Amino acid sequence: MASSPSQTSLLANFSTCELSDALIKLSVPHGGHVPDIRMISPSSSSPEIRICSPAYTVQMVPGSNKDAPCLSEHFVDTTPAGSVIVIDAPSETKSAVWGGLMTAGAQARGATGVIISGRCRDIGEHRSLGFPVFSRGHSTLGQSPFTRPSAINVPLTIKPQGPGENSFPSVTIHPGDWMVADEDGVVCVPKHLENQVIELATKSREVDAQCMQDIKAGKGIKASFKLHRGK
């Protein structure tokens, strides 16, 4: 893991939207956005909840895949404290890859949450434990026999799913990349862009605050953008 011992970053001050804006300015074509993964726990709408932690990555494979490697430990037991678990499940799986016992294990390890390109279950347990879970949906089915973990600390290439899946780029998440997740969605900030993103987002926030003030005062969006953004 490439992140600092404290596992915190000034990125935590910004919304996912502000971070995507900065990544777009840095010519990252997808703005770091992993589409269609939404907040499930601690509620489906908690404006005050924001994950901002380095990624600990887990690659799942179909249970029928006998060739892919197996893990010697349970992947939750090897989660670094202060990290967020990021799981890539086989595309379009109707079963869950995360449940209540895993939330308990992740909390015992000091994980800050889990972000799943796939489904969770035991919604009530995550909520009563107050553990942040972001996923594509939910299910009553557990991992076995549908899926199994095959690798940790590997890059994950997460493809968009559903309508528009072929017209939006995949996002590759490397271990230690900063994952930020809130009500609006999930964003990956590549580790090497951390400082540039913070710098750009800090400037934009100031400009947007000035725009907001003028727009609320009725000065018009075009005029406010022209004055404060210069275009």
Q: Which of residues 183-202 bind its own copies (CB under 8 A)?
A: 183-187
Nearer to its own copies, 88 or 208 (CB): 208
Of residues 69 through 88, those in contact with its own copies by CB under 8 A are 73-74, 76-77
Q: Which is nearer to its own copies, 12 or 221 (by Cβ)?
A: 221
Tell me the residue type at 149. P
d(CA 50, CA 111) in angstroms, rounded, equals 14
Q: Is residue 35 close enough to count as binding its own copies by CB under 8 A?
A: yes
Report the residue from 1, 10, 26, 141 that binds its own copies according to the rule CB under 8 A. 141
Determine if 97 is a binding residue for its own copies (CB under 8 A): no
Q: Which of 201, 182, 152, 136 shows the shortest CA–CA distance to 1?
A: 152
Q: Give residues 107-126 in contact with its own copies (rule: CB under 8 A).
A: 107-109, 121-124
Asked if omega into 90 is within 30° of 0 (cis), the reply is no
Separation in Å, CA 188 to CA 31, 79, 159, 173, 178: 8, 18, 13, 7, 6
179 a known binding residue?
Answer: no
**Which residue, 108, 101, 98, is CA-closest to 78?**
108
Amino acid at 106: A
CA 167, 221, 200, 47 dihedral sign is: negative
Binding track, positions 144-163, relative to its own copies; x by CB under 8 A: xx--------------xxxx
In angstroms, give the least distance from the CB of 102 to its own copies: 7
Report residue 41 as tokens. Answer: 């726990």
Q: Which is nearer to its own copies, 4 or 226 (CB)?
A: 226
Omega before residue 69 within 30° of 0, cis: no
Residue 100 labelled as part of a binding site = yes
Which listed residue (5, 6, 217, 230) binds its own copies by CB under 8 A?
A: 217
Assess 170 for contact with its own copies (CB under 8 A).
no
Known binding positions for substrate:
99-102, 121
- Residue ranges of the annotated binding site are 99-102, 121-122
